[in-house]
Amino acid sequence: MEISFICNGRKRMAAISGETRALDLLREDLNLTGTKEGCGKGECGACTILLDGKPVSSCLLPAAKLDGRNVLTIEGLKGDGGKLHPIQQAFLDSGAVQCGFCTPGMILSTKALLDNNPAPSVSEVEVALSGNICRCTGYGKIVEAVLLAAERLQVKI
Partner 1 sequence: MSENKFSVIGKPQIKVDGTELVTGSAIFAGDLRFPGMLYGYAARAGVPAGKLKSVDVSKAVAVEGVVDVITSENIGGPNLMGIMPPFDQPVIAKGEIRYAGETIAFVVAESKRIAKKAALLVEADIEAYEPVLTVEEALADGARKIHPDGNVTFTRKLIKGDTAKGFEEADLILEDDFETSFQEHAYIEPEAVCVVPSGDNRLTVYASCQSPYHLRGQIAANIGLPMSKIKVIQAYTGGSFGGKDDVAAEIGILAGVAALRSGKPVMVAHDREESIIGSNFRHAIKIHYKTGLKNDGTITAREVKLLLDGGAYASESPFVVMKALIHAAGPYKIPNVFVESTAVYTNKTYAGAFRGFGVPQVTFAAESQLQEAADRLGLDALAIRRKNALRPGDATATSQVLNESVGIVQTIDAVGKRAAEIAAGSEDEADEQYLYGTGYASLIQGISNGAEGIDVVGASVQMSQDGSVLVGTGLTELGQGSRTVFAQIAAEVLGVPLDRVTARLVDTDSVHDSGATVASRATTTGGMAVFKAATEVKSSLLQMAALMFKTEAENIVLKEGFAVLVFDETARIPIPDVATAAYWTGFPLMNMAFSKAPDADYDHDTHQGKIYIAYNFGTHMMKIRVEKSTGKVEVLSHIASHDVGKVINPLGLTGQVEGASLIGYGLGHMEKIEYENGIIRNPNFADYAVPTIMDRIPTEVISVEEFNSTGPFGAKGVGEPPVAGATASFVNAISDAVGIRFRKIPVTRQDIMLALRNRGNQEE
Partner 2 sequence: MEYYKPKTAGEAVSLKTDSRMYIAGGTDLGVLLSEFMVQPEALIDLTGIDELCGVFKVDEGVAIGACTGISLIAESELLPACLVEGAKAIGSPQIRNMATIGGNICNASPCGDTLTPLVVLEAVFIIEGDSGERRVKIEDFFIGPKRTCMSPEEILKIIIIPSRSPDQKSGFRMIGKRNGQAISQVNAAVSAVITGGIIKDIRIAAGSVAPVPLRLKKTEDVVRGKALGSNFLERMKDTAEQEVSPISDVRAAEEYRRKVAGSLLESIFRAMRKEAV
Ligand X SMILES: Cc1cc2nc3c(=O)[nH]c(=O)nc-3n(C[C@H](O)[C@H](O)[C@H](O)COP(=O)(O)OP(=O)(O)OC[C@H]3O[C@@H](n4cnc5c(N)ncnc54)[C@H](O)[C@@H]3O)c2cc1C
Binding residues for ligand X, per CB under 6 A?
A: 41-43
**Nearer of residues 3 and 86 to partner 1, judged by Cβ:** 86
Q: Which does 156 bind (CB under 5 to 8 A by kind): partner 2, ligand X, partner 1, none?
A: none
Instruction: Output the smallest distance, CB 142 to ligand FES, in A.
Output: 8
Asked if 51 touches ligand FES (CB under 6 A), the answer is no
Binning the chain into helix, strand and coil, the percentages to the nearest 5 are 40, 15, 45
The residues pairing with 13 across neighbouring beta strands, listed in sequence order, are 4
Residue 1, classed as helix, strand or coil, is: coil
At a CB cut-off of 8 Å and minimum separation 6, what does 129 contact?
A: 45, 106, 109, 110, 113, 139, 142, 146
Interacting residues toward partner 2 by CB under 8 A: 1, 17-19, 21, 40-43, 45, 48, 51, 54-57, 59-62, 64-65, 67, 109, 112, 126-128, 130-133
Stretch that binds partner 1, among 50-58, 61-69, 88-96, 149-157 (CB under 8 A): 88-96
Q: Which does 138 bind (CB under 5 to 8 A by kind): ligand FES, ligand X, partner 1, none?
A: partner 1
At a CB cut-off of 8 Å and minimum separation 6, what does 151 contact?
A: none
- The HSE-up count of residue 113 (CA atoms within 13 Å, CB side) is 27
Task: For residue 86, give the nearest of 138, 156, 133, 36 by alpha carbon.
Answer: 156
Asked if 99 touches ligand FES (CB under 6 A), the answer is yes
Tell me which residues touch ligand FES (CB under 6 A).
37-40, 42-47, 57, 59, 97-103, 134-137
